[in-house]
Amino acid sequence: MAAPGCHVGTGGGREEENGEEEEEEEEEEEEEEEEEEEEEEEEEQGEEAEAALRAVFPRDPELFAECFPERRRFRLCGRVLHIAEHHGPRLGPAGAVWEAALSLCRFLGEQNLELAGRRVLELGAGTGIVGIFAAMLGAEVTLTDRPPALPQLRENARLNFPGAAAGPRVRALRWGRDQRRFPPKFHLILGSDIVYDPRAFGPLLGTLRHLLVPPAQALLSARLRGGEAGAARFFRQLLPPFFGVRLLRREPERDIEIYAVTPRDGAPERGGPGLESLTPRDGAPGGAGPGWSPSPRGMEPRSGAGPGWSPSPRGMEPRSGAGPGWSPSPRGMEPRSGAGPGWGLLPGIKWCRGS
């Protein structure tokens, strides 16, 4: 069932359909070529990993490479996912399901987003659990990661969509290198726990700048590791100069946060539907009350919206002490859960647990 206020556009014209079919055929040919390149890279990287292991463990390196395969079952918001994890030095963090991924899956399930027919790309997919869950919600999903993680992604796609043509696609995307192979045609970009290594922040930022073209949005979840130099710095300092960044959920007990990331005003826009479900709920202005104006990201406070609002590099923001519905945070005043009109993602939400 679609969330209120969410609409899916319909195409018109035979010429447009033919053009889309030709584009899809070209993309499939490119993907086949890329898969061949990826297989060669996987073999090369596998040989490099084995050589590195032999340098440390010269007798039996196979005992230490991919030596902890595990298959797990997750129940998330009424859906069952079967996920294979491969714990070992070759995949590292990509071989496991992390709490931030489960939190993002629950968030997607609880928000009742209309994902049917929407193009979704998961960055740094690892096991692919978030993208696979989005595919179960009807999205057309592309799972991406470095070449060594692709066999695990294909395995998990087959486990959850056996023999199904509608299952997720799997492609290599090394941030800062491969993003030009991906036209910015996606409606939603997903990422969970992909900002744990500061060395990857620059390439990831460049990849997001390529992919996030209006009306696309990103949902990123992360455990806040590394203090102010880690994930918090990425969301609070590195993203805001280029994107609109909104905190959607905080889970203090797990130290996990979920953010919506949107293109800045003035970014070149492409046609097609956005994810209206990620804007304020029905009844928000022209329904949210005074001080709110439409924007590409939904309803936002107007310049000069009245008491409690101050100019900032991101537009008008609530001042400290802005009144009811606002709570202090390291980033200043932020809307509390259930803070009132105009915040469609923050009212009390039914929590469903994984098993």
Question: Mean pLDDT per 10-residue run, the chain (355 residues)?
Answer: 40 54 66 63 55 48 58 95 89 89 96 91 97 96 96 95 86 95 96 94 96 96 83 94 97 96 70 40 33 37 38 40 39 38 31 37
Angstrom distance (rounded) from CA 68 to CA 86:
6
Q: What is the pLDDT of residue 151?
A: 94
Angstrom distance (rounded) from CA 105 to CA 81:
11
Q: What is the pLDDT of residue 72?
A: 95
Domain boundaries, the chain: 36-65, 68-297
Angstrom distance (rounded) from CA 159 to CA 326:
44
CATH architecture of 68-297: 3-Layer(aba) Sandwich (3.40)
pTM of the model: 0.64
Q: What is the pLDDT of residue 90?
A: 77
Angstrom distance (rounded) from CA 342 to CA 18:
41
Angstrom distance (rounded) from CA 316 to CA 302:
7
Q: What is the pLDDT of residue 89?
A: 78
> Coil, strand, or helix at residue 124?
coil
Q: What is the pLDDT of residue 343?
A: 30
Angstrom distance (rounded) from CA 45 to CA 39:
10
Q: What is the pLDDT of residue 251?
A: 96
At how many degrees (to 10) do helices 150-160 and 14-56 cross?
120
Q: What is the pLDDT of residue 348?
A: 28
Quick check: 123 and 175 in contact, CB under 8 A? Answer: yes
CA angle 188-189-192, nearest 5°?
135
Angstrom distance (rounded) from CA 226 to CA 196:
8
